[in-house]
Structure 1
């Protein structure tokens, strides 16, 4: 086990809960990147390495692969919700955040198609709940009279766009998603994660 030391030779102070929160955030970020690059079956050790922590730290936060994937999906949904809650972000901006997550995560795309989720009821129920949170967030900011305002048009448009998000690079996936939104006649803001 390697011990980290300060430049004067002393060990750094134990940050306790702050370090745990930092490690968890680093693991979620690393998992998003690794899953995007290598798929959901990527080794968990690659996630720990990318986060700069040991595998023991990963397992303290996430007991298995499903827990890591769920944490990434929860963060995706939370960012869409935060963008929708921010009065400074127009509907097009919320769609930009949603599109960023679509281009980053095949698992997020699967979430938005929750009606086709796995047969195990617990997974399907959780996926449906997250999918419904995304829809509620989008509807909250949908302007009156918007072309996606009728009945299920919003959900259908998101499903159609998410189905186009294919390609080996994030840039290619983003290009396809934006082309799909454009063909639907829907304005999308900058494609980026939500930052408060």
Structure 2
């Protein structure tokens, strides 16, 4: 009598549930990898950290730009939601938190330099959304209201965000805002509630 293998050792195929889990794992892994290494980090590192093969990554995200957009979209959404509820200083606190947390978010705000990573068009669109969220809070005559001054100030602060720990990066970012004579609210992620 021939015995046929059973599926007792194989996990059940969860179909759409597995796909949703894999996508979430890929976004989470990409967020971590991009926070450490910026937008140019190898996609193979993202797949490895998520515990999936590169084929699974490409099934969900056809290219580097799609991965970066999925990750950075959440950062930008937080800034936009903060702009609905907080003062200008509060929104700057949320932006500063994202700067201290993620090299990728810094790369986003330097979208003109993002061309080498293949995500320039996406980065520009997301950067413009951050600018709109911030600009919507500027009162007439604000010192950052003229021309490109607002995003130039954000870029200058992002350039100061260096250091081995998040605390050091935050300290340097706040010092840069202080040197620009700009008030910043609490440095924290935006939490609805």
Q: Shared fold by TM > 0.5?
A: yes
What is the CA distance between 1:99 and its match in structure 2?
1.1
Deviations 1:53-96 (A, max 9, x none): 423543332234343223222222222112112x2x22122111
What is the CA distance between 1:177 and its match in structure 2?
0.9
TM normalised by structure 1 equals: 0.75
Number of residue pairs aligned between Structure 1 and Structure 2: 184
* Native 8 Å contact 2:36 2:102 kept in 1: no
Give the corresponding residue for 2:188.
192
Give the corresponding residue for 1:8.
none
* Native 8 Å contact 1:32 1:104 kept in 2: no
Q: Helix, strand or coil: the match of 2:145?
A: coil
Structure 2 residue 91 is the aligned partner of structure 1 residue 100: no
* Native 8 Å contact 2:34 2:41 kept in 1: yes
Q: How does 1:120-131 map to 2 (within 5 A)?
A: 123-131=119-127
TM normalised by structure 2 equals: 0.76
Partners of 1:145 and 1:22 lie apart in 2 by 48
What is the CA distance between 1:22 and its match in structure 2?
4.8
Partners of 1:44 and 1:151 lie apart in 2 by 37
Q: Which runs of 5+ in 2 are unaligned?
A: 1-6
Give the corresponding residue for 2:68.
69
Deviations 1:145-184 (A, max 9, x none): 4332333321221111111112233222222111101111
Give the corresponding residue for 1:114.
111
Give the corresponding residue for 2:31.
32
Over aligned residue pairs, what C-alpha RMSD do you find? 3.0
Partners of 2:116 and 2:33 lie apart in 1 by 26
Partners of 2:32 and 2:102 lie apart in 1 by 8
Q: Which runs of 5+ in 1 are unaligned?
A: 5-10
What is the CA distance between 1:135 and its match in structure 2?
0.7
Larger radius of gyration: 2
